[in-house]
Copies of this chain bind each other. A is one copy, B any other.
């Protein structure tokens, strides 16, 4: 991944992309599956007549995880003389028939980097809380049959907000340099059969939102008291926390920058 500016003769574009992670191996290019990155870079090569194109993202997502508004950078040759609508619609066209499309495209401000300039990321985890399995929301929710007590979940979530060592909610595979993160938001709400968990932070550990959702579900179903989440956090031990909630309930909902790359 490029950590600095575009190569000579290239201009950096900011893209806001939406994708359905079902059947994909996640954001990052891999040997053993189709990734969003591979689909996007292939579409970009088609757009600029076969030139190789490098992309970087504000955050990786795992296999099966969705994005409503992921932000990605793409360095495209100046010589292509592309306008913003051309980039948005041209890439979306070349991404067909995959469920990946460009919501917005803009020339990035000088010095902007999709990952390193980002101030925060937000995710929503959605639980379908009813006896009947998901139908209209198939592959986009976690199905929990047992009725969840959202007030208990909210009380438990409140103990996790702020700056903490989140080792108990960190995947073994996490490549971050340390386990300390500042959780700015962890909000649990019910809307009919849906229970949503909204999380926002400067950055997250690998599987952090899914691990938080898995533990919050144990509070909601009455297996844990809300206060037990404080004990789990203090233990700094992944083995004492709840299970990792499945990927299909997770969606990246937004990325924030000091200055909106897509304009006011």
Contacts and interface: CB of A to CB of B under 8 A. Distances in A.
A119 interface: no
A102 interface: yes
Interface residues of A, number: 23
A181 interface: no
Contacts of A140: 136
A233 interface: no
Kindly list the 7 A-B residue pairs having the minimum CB-CB distance in the complex, ordered from nearest. Answer: A18-B135, A101-B132, A99-B135, A103-B132, A101-B135, A101-B133, A20-B135
A85 B132 CA distance: 10
Which of A18, A68, A135 has the most B CB atoms < 10 Å from its CB?
A: A135
A10 to B, nearest CB: 24
Copies of this chain assembled into the complex: 2
Interface string A70-107: 00000000000000010011001000000111110000
Contact of A102 (B20, B85, B89, B132): B132
A131 interface: yes
Instruction: Choose among A92, A100, A136 the residue with the greatest number of B CB atoms under 10 Å from its CB.
Output: A136
Contacts of A88: 131-132
A100 B135 CA distance: 6
A169 interface: no
A101 B136 CA distance: 10
Interface string A155-187: 000000000000000000000000000000000
Nearest to A93: B133
A136 B66 contact: yes
A138 B131 CA distance: 25
A130 interface: yes
A66 B135 CA distance: 10
A246 to B, nearest CB: 17
A81 B92 CA distance: 55
Given A18-B132, A100-B135, 10 more contacts: A18-B136, A19-B135, A20-B138, A68-B136, A92-B133, A99-B135, A101-B133, A102-B132, A103-B130, A103-B132
27 contacts: A18-B132, A18-B135, A18-B136, A19-B135, A20-B135, A20-B136, A20-B138, A66-B136, A68-B136, A85-B131, A88-B131, A88-B132, A89-B131, A92-B132, A92-B133, A99-B135, A99-B136, A99-B138, A100-B135, A101-B132, A101-B133, A101-B135, A102-B132, A103-B130, A103-B132, A136-B140, A136-B251
